[in-house]
Chain A
Amino acid sequence: MSARRQGNRIPGYRAYGGVLIVSTLLNQERRAYMMMDSGAAYCCITPEIARLLRYDLQRPMARRSIVSAQGLEAEVASFRLQSLQVEGIIVQMLEVLVVHFPPRLRIDGVLGVNFLERFRSTFDFDTATLVLRARSV
């Protein structure tokens, strides 16, 4: 990964309610709209994106227990992406969970803490921008 000191500014857009959505490229082959969610421990993708990435949902890398703010508890499949790219930033070997989203949410997943923690991540809501700076050693 290579975030310059001044930070890489990732342009996104703000959907209804002000949430920030950015375009990502998964495994260098499938693009996905993902919502920023610093309240999610892991990145998530929908089952449809998992199928497009040719993941076998019956044979996940692991299964994780999840619990949501609404009280949903479930066991979900987990896979390791070869890469997740946002603009010029590429993160390799990133674990993602496969989660069903309600049909009215037409996003492909969320970028959670296991991605954001790899940087000094900030959200510039005024300009609908995700800013990723290299972490101090």
Chain B
Amino acid sequence: MAKKKNAIRLPQGVSSLEQIEAQYADQWVLVEETHWNKNGQPLAGRVIAHSQEKETVVATGVQYGKQHRDVQLFLFYAGEKIPEGVVVLL
């Protein structure tokens, strides 16, 4: 299979966000961003924590953020942000 043009070579322990979304599907994931596109959007990072329990990942993120002040952290749900069938009306 031909390699994707412009595919970035990632260091060990770093994965693309697409890979992370697939690997940790339906979990909350805390990622330290390591690679960005020219607009500053994250492309890849290092997974710091993951769990189906949001609070577990948030607590890890709070502690990690205290110890690593200069990193950009991304906490997200690897899946649909609004489940199918749920109509948002704030």
- Tell me the A residues contacting B by CB distance below 8 Å: 15-17, 19, 21, 23, 25, 28-31, 33, 35, 37, 39-40, 48-49, 51-52, 54, 68-70, 85, 87-88, 103-108, 110
Contact = CB atoms under 8 A, between A and B. Distances in A.
Nearest to A10: B39
B77 interface: yes
Interface residues of B, number: 31
Given A30-B72, A31-B73, A85 B89 contact: no
Contacts of B80: 15-16, 106
Interface of B: 33, 39-42, 54-55, 58, 61-62, 65-66, 71-77, 79-90
B17 to A, nearest CB: 10
A15 B90 contact: no
B90 A16 contact: no
A8 to B, nearest CB: 10
B75 A15 contact: no
A35 B58 CA distance: 20
Task: Tell me the interface secondary structure of chain A in the complex.
Answer: loop
A110 B88 CA distance: 12
A106 B86 CA distance: 12
